Structure 1
Amino acid sequence: MSDTEDGSETEGRDYEVVVVGGGPAGVQTALYTTRLGHDTAVVDRGGGRAAMMLDTHNVIGVPEETSGNEFLQTAKEQVQSYGGDVVRDFVTEIERTDDGRFRLVGNDAEFLADRVVLAVGFNDERPDPPVPRTGKGLHYCLHCDAYMFIDRPVYVMGTGEAAAHVAMIMLNFTDDVDLLLRGEDPEWSDETDEQLRAHPIEIVDAEITGMQKSDDGWLEAFEFDDGTVRRYRGGFPMYGSNYNTDLPEQLGCDLNDDGTVAVDEGMETSVDGVYAVGDITPGHNQVPVAMGEGAKAGIDIHYGLRAFPRDLDEIREHGPVGADDVPNVSERIRGAAEAFEEARAPPLDVPDAEPADDD
């Protein structure tokens, strides 16, 4: 049996939407589907790239000093306040049922859903030690963190095309850029090599043997096997990404050549009713981008699940919509909405309308 983060049991629960993954993209999707009236659960194993952020950058309204964990915890509490569930579990299997729905199997519970959202992201390939702690000299997001390296010494670590190009890009922010090969041969093309060597970047062949850190844990310098010591504010390891495509592959979702999941404009995959959002899809791996994808998926899911307006063919076959048929919101969502509004302002005391006089 699995519990939600507020302690309620979820075994046997049936949802309209199950989101797998509790990062910014997944939680944003759940925020939309819950507020749009659909019973939703976020199934989150914990961790993830966003959770590792020591500070949150480039998100309007979120102070820089907000950690990734604080940011995500606030987001999950928002989903719960609107009537959604947040469940700590790890989904290992997923399949389409005979009636066209989806069955998800976690380590502790099973879930049924009309729509599934895969927000399972990827794992960065980490360089071999010695390397500093993530966020304190080891950074994975150029667009988030380049600002902090203005006029500071920075390294880029790697041997491929991406490493060479990121090193050149960093010259927009600082004139002190080293490209660390760590004893490996470069793998970039001859054209890239010619381009790279036309920029003021030092290519360091030597392997790292040690590092120096400040009292607060930030990287200060690397020590190399040629006896040199080079000082850095921090830098970027460029060794690629491993996309978490096990669940999409179980469902038969199409993948792109780079390993990401193929999606349409509404973030739906090649499998009807299955959506993918965030770092597992093509594009920039940014918190605001992921949130935008989650919003698009949530709205698209709502279009497919909402009961009204009822189709004309249905009306002609079954008759008009009756007063007892509306609103089409579960008791769970209705109760959460009432509690949410009562917490913000007391309900209006509106008297019943008086019958009109005959004369």
Structure 2
Amino acid sequence: MRNARTPSAPRHSRVLIIGSGPAGYTAAIYASRSALDPVLIEGPQPGGQLTITTDVENWPGDASVQGPDLMARMSDHARHVGAQIISDYIVEVDLSKRPFEATGDMGDRYTADSLIIATGANARWLGLASETRYRGRGVSACATCDGYFFRDKACAVVGGGNTAVEDALHLANFASDVYLIHRRDTLRADKTNQARLFAHPKIKTIWNAEVAEVLGDGGKVTGIQLNHPVTGEQSTLTVDGLFVAIGHDPATSLFKDKLAMDQEGYILVTPGSTATSVPGVFAAGDVQDKHFRQAVVSAGMGCMAALEAERYLIDKDAAAALAEDVRPAAASSDVVHHAA
């Protein structure tokens, strides 16, 4: 945390959006077009996970676009329609009072009548320097996003849960060969997925193995080095791509014990909605979506959250106006009594 400065008066908005990326920027666009004058706090990684993605070929309307360019366009769009975008990082929120209050890294305070959470999630990585070096050049954490680039090539998937198995099955639609690498001798994935995996002619499972190094020619992945702890041996596997599928961590620690979450830390919402357990607080994108994790899905949720925030504020204003209208015109001591 940076050195805090003397805080100024809170900046108030009708809608405060915490987090950027497709969900946050889309929410800002829709809230702006509804004349709600939203404030968006970008967070530690403006633009989210797509800023570390190269080619995006599944964004509707773009045959191919660079991830950072797509996020820059969304940010520009949000600013164009009137959203205030602030470079800050929220370190504390208070959802117990109205208006809601959030505190930034330097001590700046933000209050709002409604709140949209779009802080996203982060893929878990293996922690190898070579993995980082080749990220976006053969190493990926999203088979749905990048599988198409590996048509007729060999790929490896690391993991043992449903995500890893589903990624392997998805990649088998494109790749010539798929290797599922798991550090144990049994999978955690459900039996139906396992049956599909083991029956697929393109997929081979490598048991009791760990990825020790990602190999490459400086420009792209050429293979991986495996450790086999049971035997103590090492081996090299020639592949063009490595997909890491060992889970994601939603960026929701800020809201722990303040919103209802599942055991993995994903924010729980009303089915078919972005509404959380606290009225006026909405969650969009990967903070509540553990299944799809796609930019277009997050953008759709950002739209939903903005529209639901607008409806919440309309209802809130209407209730306040009604309460004002029905207040007693005078106290009982002021009533004039007429003689019969």
TM-score calculated relative to the size of structure 1: 0.76
Distance 1:305 1:150 in 2: 49
For the 8 Å contact 1:59–1:288, the answer to whether it is kept is yes
What's the Cα RMSD here? 3.0
Deviation sequence 1:84-132 (CA, Å, 0-9, x none): 111111111111364x210101112110100111111112110142425
Q: CA deviation at 1:178?
A: 0.8
Q: CA deviation at 1:44?
A: 1.2
Aligned to 1:212: 215
Aligned to 1:157: 158
Aligned to 1:230: 237
Change (3 A) 1:20 1:33: same
Question: Could you tell me which of 283, 288, 294 is aligned with 1:281?
Answer: 288
Aligned to 1:54: 54
Deviation sequence 1:327-350 (CA, Å, 0-9, x none): xxxxxxxxxxxxxxxxxxxxxxxx
Aligned to 1:344: none
Q: CA deviation at 1:45?
A: 1.9
Distance 1:310 1:23 in 2: 32
Distance 1:13 1:35 in 2: 20
Q: CA deviation at 1:156?
A: 0.6
Amino acid corresponding to residue 223 of structure 2 in structure 1: A
Which residues in structure 2 correspond to 1:332-347 (within 5 Å)?
A: none
Aligned to 1:12: 10
Question: Could you tell me which of 32, 38, 41 is aligned with 1:40?
Answer: 38
Aligned residue pair count: 306
Change (3 A) 1:11 1:138: farther
For the 8 Å contact 2:18–2:90, the answer to whether it is kept is yes
Aligned to 1:89: 88
Change (3 A) 1:196 1:82: closer
Give the match's secondary structure for 1:78. Answer: helix
Among all aligned residue pairs of Structure 1 and Structure 2, give the percentage whose two residues are the same amino acid.
25
Question: Could you tell me which of 268, 279, 282 is aligned with 2:275?
Answer: 268
Amino acid corresponding to residue 212 of structure 1 in structure 2: L
For the 8 Å contact 2:144–2:170, the answer to whether it is kept is no
Aligned to 1:355: none
Aligned to 2:330: none
Which residues in structure 2 correspond to 1:266-345 (within 5 Å)?
A: 266-282=273-289, 283-306=291-314, 314=322, 317=325
Aligned to 2:178: 177
Change (3 A) 1:175 1:165: same
Aligned to 2:104: 106
Aligned to 1:334: none
Distance 1:150 1:19 in 2: 39
Question: Could you tell me which of 231, 244, 262 is aligned with 2:251?
Answer: 244
Q: CA deviation at 1:77?
A: 1.7
Distance 1:78 1:245 in 2: 26
Give the match's secondary structure for 2:296. Answer: helix
For the 8 Å contact 1:118–1:248, the answer to whether it is kept is no
Give the match's secondary structure for 1:70. Answer: helix
Which structure 1 residue ranges, 5 or more long, are not aligned?
Answer: 3-9, 319-359
Is 1:30 matched with 2:33?
no
- Of Structure 1 and Structure 2, which has the larger fraction of its residues in strand? 2
Distance 1:281 1:140 in 2: 18
Which residues in structure 2 correspond to 1:111-126 (within 5 Å)?
A: 111-126=110-125
Distance 1:111 1:247 in 2: 15
The more displaced of 55-64 and 146-155 is 55-64
Distance 1:247 1:178 in 2: 37
For the 8 Å contact 2:56–2:65, the answer to whether it is kept is yes
Amino acid corresponding to residue 260 of structure 1 in structure 2: Y
Change (3 A) 1:168 1:45: same
Change (3 A) 1:54 1:303: same
Which structure 2 residue ranges, 5 or more long, are not aligned?
Answer: 3-7, 228-232, 327-340
Q: CA deviation at 1:35?
A: 1.3
Deviation sequence 1:173-216 (CA, Å, 0-9, x none): 234111123x544343694655533333222344444443234x
Give the match's secondary structure for 1:172. Answer: coil
